[in-house]
């Protein structure tokens, strides 16, 4: 197997992106030597040793000079995107920056310049196809190199059901759209809110401040909530780009049943309680259904989710695909150049 040197812009700005899309996934890929360097590094020297330049979503706005330098040296460029950067939600905390016409122009130029786009969902592949036809879908996956599956056989029964939520300021709209239902159920579940305070939730609750990702994983696994609540507004930014990583984390690490909207295609998976906007399946009724579930019913749903993830969403499985994609990609580039 040929050794491939993959140079990546790497600054640990967004730990979740690093964990699901950058260093944590490329380091174990067979036959790939990962070289992560900050933007301020000597990229002329780095590129002289690289076979491929890899850029993930968090650097797209500021990496165009490095991409152009790679292209001038004949080094192919892979750009990985796990968000919809063309339909920024009006409540996004970085709305002004991301919708700036010059920034949007740079994003689109990066999309067009890349030799290959890697995206997390089919929705993103369809969205970005207008800018680049060379796209491959590599979904977010459970890092089976680092984490074991929660043993649901040892889960204890609770008299009072526990429910967890995790979100940053970017998710305030997601919470606001369902805040009345949440407030009506604050005394029915034992709530845990990870991350930023949802300003529309109006009484006391258990708050767990932001912490390094591995600490969050450990805390979630130790808590072992009955349910993980993933509210996402019915907006293009969520419909096209949001992966089901929250479901993977809750299912694998905590053995929790996930509650998520039915208008998000990535959450159409076994074992998920899905709510909608209609009268028959609104969030109030889904919460009521959750409260009525027995311990055995919850564990049965978790088992369905865990089985699907084990069969379809192991990182080791998708890293083999990453290597195969690299081999096909580099072979095609060599044939076109030679």
Angle at 328 between CA 323 and CA 332, to 5 degrees: 145
Give the residue from 220, 218, 265 showing the smallest Cα distance to 238: 265
- DSSP secondary structure, 90-120, as one string: TT-TTHHHHT-HHHHHHHHHHHHH-SEEEES
69-78, 89-98, 197-206: least confidently modelled range:
197-206
13-17, 59-63, 131-135, 334-338: least confidently modelled range:
334-338
Measure the CA–CA gap between 138 and 120, rounded to whole angstroms.
5
Q: What local confidence, expressed as pLDDT, does residue 198 receive?
A: 66
Measure the CA–CA gap between 241 and 225, rounded to whole angstroms.
26
Confidence of residue 13 (pLDDT cuts 50, 70, 90): low
Tell the burial category of 203 from Cβ atoms under 10 Å away from its Cβ (0-12, 13-18, 19+): exposed
How much of the chain exceeds pLDDT 90, in percent? Answer: 62
How much of the chain exceeds pLDDT 70, in percent? Answer: 96
Give the residue from 67, 29, 62 showing the smallest Cα distance to 46: 67
The C-alpha R_g of the chain, in whole angstroms, comes to 21
Q: What local confidence, expressed as pLDDT, does residue 134 receive?
A: 96
Q: How confident is the model over 215-241, as a mean pLDDT? A: 90
Q: What is the distance, to the nearest Å, from the Cα of residue 278 to the centroid of all Cα atoms in its chain?
A: 27
Q: How confident is the model over 5-28, as a mean pLDDT? A: 86
Q: How confident is the model over 162-180, as a mean pLDDT? A: 86
Q: Do 146 and 207 touch, CB atoms closer than 8 A?
A: no
Give the residue from 163, 161, 202, 165 showing the smallest Cα distance to 183: 202
Give the residue from 21, 75, 23 showing the smallest Cα distance to 46: 75
Q: What is the DSSP code (8-state) at residue 314?
A: B
- Cβ neighbors of 157 (< 8 A, separation 6 or more) are 295
All domains of the chain, ordered by start, with CATH? Answer: 4-141+314-337 (3.40.50.2000), 152-312 (3.40.50.2000)
Neighbour tally for 315: CB within 10 Å: 23
Q: What is the DSSP code (8-state) at residue 294?
A: -
Q: What local confidence, expressed as pLDDT, does residue 216 receive?
A: 92
Q: What is the pLDDT of residues 82-132, one digit of tens each?
A: 999 998 888 777 888 889 999 999 999 999 999 999 999 999 999 999 999
Q: What local confidence, expressed as pLDDT, does residue 75 receive?
A: 94
Q: How confident is the model over 65-77, as a mean pLDDT? A: 94
Number of residues that make up the chain: 338
Cα dihedral across residues 141, 144, 147, 151: positive or negative: positive
Claim: this prediction has a pTM higher than 0.85: yes
- Quick one: tokens of 211? 């912490």
Instruction: Please determine, for residue 204, whether its predicted confidence score (pLDDT) is greater than 70.
Output: no
Q: What local confidence, expressed as pLDDT, does residue 333 receive?
A: 77
Instruction: Please determine, for residue 12, whether its predicted confidence score (pLDDT) is greater than 70.
Output: no
Measure the CA–CA gap between 228 and 254, rounded to whole angstroms.
9
Neighbour tally for 36: CB within 10 Å: 19
Q: What is the distance, to the nearest Å, from the Cα of residue 46 to the centroid of all Cα atoms in its chain?
A: 28
Measure the CA–CA gap between 4 and 214, rounded to whole angstroms.
29
Q: What local confidence, expressed as pLDDT, does residue 202 receive?
A: 64
Measure the CA–CA gap between 182 and 283, rounded to whole angstroms.
9
Q: What is the distance, to the nearest Å, from the Cα of residue 336 to the centroid of all Cα atoms in its chain?
A: 34
């Amino acid at each position: 197997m040929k050794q491939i040197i993959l140079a990546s812009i790497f600054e640990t700005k967004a730990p979740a992106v690093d964990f699901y899309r950058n260093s944590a996934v490329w380091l174990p890929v067979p036959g790939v030597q990962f070289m992560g360097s900050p933007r301020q590094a000597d990229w002329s020297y780095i590129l002289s040793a690289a076979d491929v330049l890899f850029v993930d979503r968090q650097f797209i706005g500021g990496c165009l000079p490095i991409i152009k330098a790679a292209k001038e040296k004949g080094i192919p460029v892979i750009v990985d995107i796990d968000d919809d950067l063309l339909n920024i939600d009006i409540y996004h905390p970085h709305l002004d920056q991301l919708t700036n016409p010059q920034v949007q122009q740079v994003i689109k130029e990066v999309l067009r310049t890349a030799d290959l786009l890697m995206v997390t969902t089919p929705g993103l592949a369809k969205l970005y196809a207008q800018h680049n036809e060379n796209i491959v879908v590599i979904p977010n996956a459970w890092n089976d190199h680092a984490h074991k599956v929660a043993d649901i056989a040892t889960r204890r029964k609770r008299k009072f059901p526990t429910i967890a939520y995790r979100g940053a300021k970017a998710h305030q709209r997601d919470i606001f759209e369902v805040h009345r239902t949440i407030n009506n159920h604050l005394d029915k579940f034992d709530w845990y809110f990870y991350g930023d305070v949802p300003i529309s939730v109006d009484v006391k609750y258990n708050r767990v401040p932001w912490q390094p990702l591995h600490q969050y994983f450990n805390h979630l696994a130790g808590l072992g909530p009955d349910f993980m609540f993933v509210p996402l507004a019915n907006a293009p930014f969520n419909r096209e780009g949001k992966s089901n990583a929250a479901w993977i984390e809750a299912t694998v690490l905590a053995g929790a049943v996930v509650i998520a909207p039915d208008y998000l295609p990535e959450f159409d998976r076994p074992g998920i309680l899905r709510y909608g906007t209609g009268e028959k399946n609104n969030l109030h009724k889904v919460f009521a259904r959750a409260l009525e579930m027995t311990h055995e019913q919850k564990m049965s749903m978790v088992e369905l989710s865990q089985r699907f993830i084990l069969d379809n969403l192991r990182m080791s499985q998708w890293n083999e695909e990453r290597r195969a994609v690299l081999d096909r990609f580099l072979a095609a580039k060599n044939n076109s150049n030679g």
